[in-house]
Amino acid sequence: AQTVTQSQPEMSVQEAETVTLSCTYDTSESNYYLFWYKQPPSRQMILVIRQEAYKQQNATENRFSVNFQKAAKSFSLKISDSQLGDTAMYFCAFMIQYNNNDMRFGAGTRLTVKP
Amino acid sequence: DGGITQSPKYLFRKEGQNVTLSCEQNLNHDAMYWYRQDPGQGLRLIYYSQIVNDFQKGDIAEGYSVSREKKESFPLTVTSAQKNPTAFYLCASSIGRVGNTGELFFGEGSRLTVL
């Protein structure tokens, strides 16, 4: 069974600084996707960034980037130039390719950006 | 605007009562899902449906029921058999297997409290 672990229940960062959220996962599969989802307070959960396991290059979306270490089964999220609007719960998720009825989520990290 | 609409946003129920949570999407997605979110546990899959008139149990289906009579609609009933129903419930949708990128689109959620 696939498991996703987020070891940091809460984190905080000063506005404009950089923060890294950790995620590890366990699987015996070779083809899979990894995701970071953001859930702002009282708002919809949205996809932040996505990584295909077969791609060696780390995904980047504007201020958000990942450090994907396949051998170590690690998938951390780096947020650069943190903004107040980045305050949210962040969930790491794993899905075997073409099997999105089995998306596995971590417990989440609550990030607070301080002014 | 395309999206997923969940209602009601807040719901209170007395013990022993069934309650139905609504989920409607206008994204023309084939697949729909219901997740339960509890503090410190991430999201857990209750039920999913890949196509109209078909649905499958997820990891925690006991005490819940669903229907999928229309592509746009996937209501969840929390029955009196659910021992601990107080939680935040999230509905999601995705394209489905064809052209699947794995991305889930979420509603804003429904918070159910049992009194």
- How confident is the model at residue B1, as a pLDDT? 66
Residue B90, pLDDT score: 97
Query: Which residue positions in chain A have pLDDT lower than 50?
Result: none
For residue B41, what pLDDT is reported?
84
CB contact under 8 A, B45 and A102: yes
Q: Which residue of A has its CA nearest to B105?
A: A46
For residue B5, is pLDDT > 60?
Answer: yes
* Chain A residues whose beta carbon lies within 8 Å of the beta carbon of residue B91: none
- Per-residue confidence (pLDDT) for residue B95, from 0 to 100: 85
Q: Which residues contact A57 (CB under 8 A, 6 or more apart)?
A: none
Q: How far apart are CA A110 and CA A104, in angstroms?
A: 18
How many Cα atoms sit within 13 Å of A11 on the Cβ side?
Answer: 24
Higher pLDDT, B97 or B49: B49
Amino acid at A86: D
Three-point CA angle B34, A70, A36, nearest 5°: 35
Report the distance separating Cα B111 and Cα B115, nearest Å.
13
- A33 contacts in chain B (CB < 8 Å): 101-102
Reported confidence tier of residue B97, pLDDT bands at 50, 70, 90: low
Flag whether pLDDT at B99 surpasses 60.
no
* % of chain B residues with pLDDT over 90: 77
Please tell me which residue, A96 or B20, carries the higher pLDDT value.
B20
Counting residues of chain B whose pLDDT is more than 70, the rounded percentage is 96
**d(CA A85, nearest CA chain B) in Å:** 17
Is the pLDDT reported for residue B98 higher than 70? Answer: no
Q: Give A 88-107 residues with CB within 8 A of chain B.
A: 91, 95, 97-98, 100-103, 105-107
Is pLDDT above 80 for B12?
Answer: yes
CA distance A102 to B58: 8
pLDDT at B49: 94
User: Which tokens go with B108?
Assistant: 């804003």
